[in-house]
Amino acid sequence: QSVLTQPPSVSGAPGQRVTISCTGSSSNIGAGHYVHWYQQLPGTAPKLLIYAYTNRPSGVPDRFSGSQSGTTASLAITGLQAEDEAHYYCQSYDGSLSANWVFGGGTKLTVL
With CB under 8 A as the contact rule, the residue among 22, 80, 89, 109 that binds another protein is: 89
Minimum distance between the CB of residue 49 and another protein, rounded to whole angstroms? Answer: 9
With CB under 8 A as the contact rule, the residue among 11, 16, 55, 110 that binds another protein is: 55
Residue 25, burial from CB neighbour count under 10 angstroms (0-12, 13-18, 19+):
middle
Report CA-CA distances (Å) from 45 to 9, 48, 72, 111. Answer: 19, 10, 25, 21
33 contributes a contact to another protein by CB under 8 A: no
With CB under 8 A as the contact rule, the residue among 7, 51, 64, 85 that binds another protein is: 51
Around Cβ 94, how many Cβ atoms within 10 Å?
Answer: 19
List interacting residues with another protein (CB under 8 A): 2, 34, 36, 38, 44-48, 51-52, 55, 57, 89, 91, 97-103, 105-106
